[in-house]
Homo-oligomer: A and B are copies of this chain.
């Protein structure tokens, strides 16, 4: 069913039918009703491609999902982020276009979005330190919103981010308050912006208490379960083992926990653990009593906010261009006071 066919059925011109359906004032209420009824009856919906060719708007938003070329890893938070963003898109009539690209070849994905003209805006994922994609997108002139921020960039851009520094600073202070002095940091890849900020928070808290951050206690890597496990085993086997571990992802935390228990120790008693929790839907941190003490912020909510911001930008609506979400610190069973033994001897 095309517009022309429908207009023939109605004995009207395509012009009038189009206007009736799009709510233009130059059409009488009577015919508008008649047209709407006929459209519904015949199941007419405008052909997206024709419409967007005519209007110049694609009514679609692009996401570039980077796959780490080395480890073929897809970030588990994407699922929930996209679920949140998708909600907002469909409410506003936008489609979501996904492009899965090895992260050493992302430029071409953005370029092709632009030159092929099939999206009106982009969400930028997983920004790094001084991310080159930001100047790239600025020069290409397509609206975009960054999920996260990019330290050391002077260019300006719209973003939605969690206050990673504050979150990890608070978490570290909390551990310090419990008497821990040797606290390990198991972080994401070190060029990732969120990892940089979390580390900054961690170091700031230590320094404020007169403790010099120890490079031997700080780790960066891809946030898999295995990484958490392996690191923990080596860490705890050291003579000068940490009494607490601060972890950047729930999934890694599970590995850390496994490591702790394999060593015959107990989480929350022998070793304390705080993790960041993105509130992934299939991995709720205990509905009743949280298993893990965690800095918590819903990535799905971030998805909603980023999507809304992008739509606002595209429609030239006036609204904030920077949103900083605070993570709360939820108390779980994975933290406890540094035991005298540990606290004393170390």
Interface residues in chain A, defined as those with a beta carbon under 8 Å from any beta carbon in chain B: 1, 43-50, 52-53, 58, 60, 65, 67, 71-76, 78-80, 82-83, 85-87, 89-90, 95-101, 111-112, 115-118, 222-226, 251, 254, 258, 261, 280-284, 286-287, 291, 300
Q: Which of chain B's residues has its CB closest to A281's CB?
A: B73
- Cβ A224 vs Cβ B283 within 8 A: yes
A111 to B112, CA, bound (A): 28
- Find chain B residues with CB under 8 A from A281 CB: 71-74, 224
A interface: dominant SS: mixed
Interface centre among A43, A79, A90, A283 (most CB of B within 10 A): A79
A230 to B53, CA, bound (A): 54
15 A–B pairs (Cβ distance < 8 Å), ordered by A: A44-B115, A48-B118, A71-B281, A72-B300, A73-B282, A75-B79, A75-B282, A76-B76, A82-B98, A85-B100, A90-B100, A95-B97, A98-B98, A225-B283, A251-B282
Q: A86-B65, A116-B46 are in contact. Are A282 and B224 (CB under 8 A)?
A: yes
Q: Which of chain B's residues has its CB closest to A63's CB?
A: B98
A118 to B97, CA, bound (A): 11
